[in-house]
Amino acid sequence: MAEGMLSLSWNNHRATFCHILSTLREKERYTDVTVACDGKFYQVHKLVLSTCSEYFEKIFENTPCKHPVIVLKDVQTDELEALLSYMYEGAVSVAQNDLARLIKAAEVLRIKGLAVPDEPPLSESCSKRVTQSRNASDDRSSPHPKRRRREESNTSLQGAQTSTSPPASPRVSSFESEGETHHSTSRTQSDSRWMDQRSSEREDQSTDHPLDDRLGDHTATSRSSPTPPQVEVMVDETLVKEEMVDHVDNSQDDIVDSGMDYGSMGSDSRLDGSGGGEEDPSSQMLPNKFEPKINPSQGQAQQLPDAVVEALAGPSGMQGWLSGCEMPTGFSGLEGYSGGDGSQDVHPPPQGQPVSQSQAHQLVGLERTIAMGAGALTAARRTHRCPYCLYVTYYTTSLKKHIRTHTKEKPFVCSQCPFRTTQPENLRRHFYTHSGERPYACELCPFRATQKFSLQRHIWTQHR
């Protein structure tokens, strides 16, 4: 209440907790109960079992023993393993055929969320439908299993995963893999040391929701999870329905992902790969002389086709990208573009393709451009077209710069910090932040700026 009160919240609390629990189980740390089943022994934690099952809770209540051994008779090992995974991770993959069995076992053990509601009805008037029961808010915080069933067609994936479901390895990976944030945090880039941290923070935040859902609904994070909850079990058999929402989410994820992956590939792997070695541009302090031109030399002629090939080859890369780029405009592709470009003379499209052939041809077209040189485009007045989007320019240099925005290639590296950029000019400008130089001085006041436009803006606003 007091003014000074701050609310501190641990965004990843659930995920972390979950992860740690799983890890503890794997390492058999702090385990205080042994579950014996069909000749196998599982070291687990009373806390977890009793949290997830009234049955176990009761047992422990009535078993003062410090490290009891519980022998399960009517449960098979694979069922138990699945249930343990479920309890520790909040989700588990199950082959459809095994679903009934699993539920039965869950019922025997009274596993919350599987066989019994994970929370007493309480006052929640919200009629609990057999399925999701819980109202939205609850839903987020508690592990109510949803059974989701992918189409049969998924079986291969599903089967594979389900068969190996029990191992409860942590899936931090699913969060890390989102990697994309990088390029979007323009602001932080100059803050060298912080960049990584910050981006990861962002990631955490951005995945906040999925994390929240983690215990109960893994759908959001299931993609890369070792034990994807393909089939999240539900109390009711009627749940065997597809949940469009999840599908949509997934598909979106996929799209986003393709975009992201693309980006991350470029900014991470590729950068590191191509520019990593050059990170050391030891002597490029000179604002004007940026030796660091890392390896822009390789030339686009090399790079481009690669990029193109990559994009084409990628499962979703190009498509995702193109769809993101072209579709939104609603143009019918080149037509619309050339018109809008006002470059009628400029742009009698090299191939004059109508939209239909557009994408592939754009790629091919550019590739050809690169391969054959500008001469091939004489008819087009030497316009240069981006293979990734509808961008067209007269200048090859502009195109190169532009393409880097797609490939995320940033060959120009600051010697003072991790900042890297696509244009030498940007690097030069950036360097002012280190050198303190402010080349643009206001004649009317002591104000100085690092960028001309900043000075102009200053004059307009201050001395107008």
Partner DNA sequence: CAGCAGGGGGCGA
Partner DNA sequence: CGCCCCCTGCTGG
* Residue closer to DNA (CB basis): 49 or 380: 380
**Element at 71 (helix H, strand E):** strand 69-72
Q: Of the candidates 46, 144, 146, 402, which one interacts with DNA according to CB under 7 A?
A: 402
Identity at 297, one-letter amino acid code: S
Q: Token digits for 129?
A: 């439908």
Beta-strand relationship, 33-37 and 69-72: parallel
Stretch that binds DNA, among 30-38, 54-62, 309-317, 402-410 (CB under 7 A): 402-410
By CB under 7 A, the residues from 421 to 440 that bind DNA are 421-426, 428-430, 432-433, 438
**171 contributes a contact to DNA by CB under 7 A:** no
Torsion sign (Cα): 55, 82, 150, 316 = positive
Torsion of CA 22, 25, 27, 31, to 10 degrees: 140
**110 contributes a contact to DNA by CB under 7 A:** no
**86 contributes a contact to DNA by CB under 7 A:** no
Distance, in Å, from the CA atom of 226 to the CA atom of 208, rounded to the nearest integer, reads 20
Judge whether 165 and 134 are in contact, CB under 8 Å. Answer: no
Q: Of the candidates 158, 207, 358, 450, which one interacts with DNA according to CB under 7 A?
A: 450
3-class DSSP assignment, residue 441: strand
3-class DSSP assignment, residue 385: strand
3-class DSSP assignment, residue 329: helix
3-class DSSP assignment, residue 318: helix
* Residue closer to DNA (CB basis): 129 or 452: 452
- Letters for 111-140 (x = contact with DNA by CB under 7 A, - = none) are ------------------------------
**381 contributes a contact to DNA by CB under 7 A:** no
What is the smallest separation between the CB atom of 450 and DNA, expressed in angstroms? 4
Residue from 87, 138, 90, 75 nearest 111 by CA: 87
What is the smallest separation between the CB atom of 323 and DNA, expressed in angstroms? 18
**Element at 216 (helix H, strand E):** none
Q: Of the candidates 85, 393, 407, 415, which one interacts with DNA according to CB under 7 A?
A: 393
**293 contributes a contact to DNA by CB under 7 A:** yes
By CB under 7 A, the residues from 221 to 250 that bind DNA are none
Q: Of the candidates 12, 189, 219, 227, which one interacts with DNA according to CB under 7 A?
A: 189
**187 contributes a contact to DNA by CB under 7 A:** yes
Residue 216 C-beta-side C-alpha neighbours within 13 Å: 24
**45 contributes a contact to DNA by CB under 7 A:** no
Chain contacts with DNA (rule: CB under 7 A): 183, 186-187, 189-190, 288-290, 293, 296, 299, 391, 393-398, 400-402, 404-405, 419, 421-426, 428-430, 432-433, 438, 447-454, 456-458, 461-462
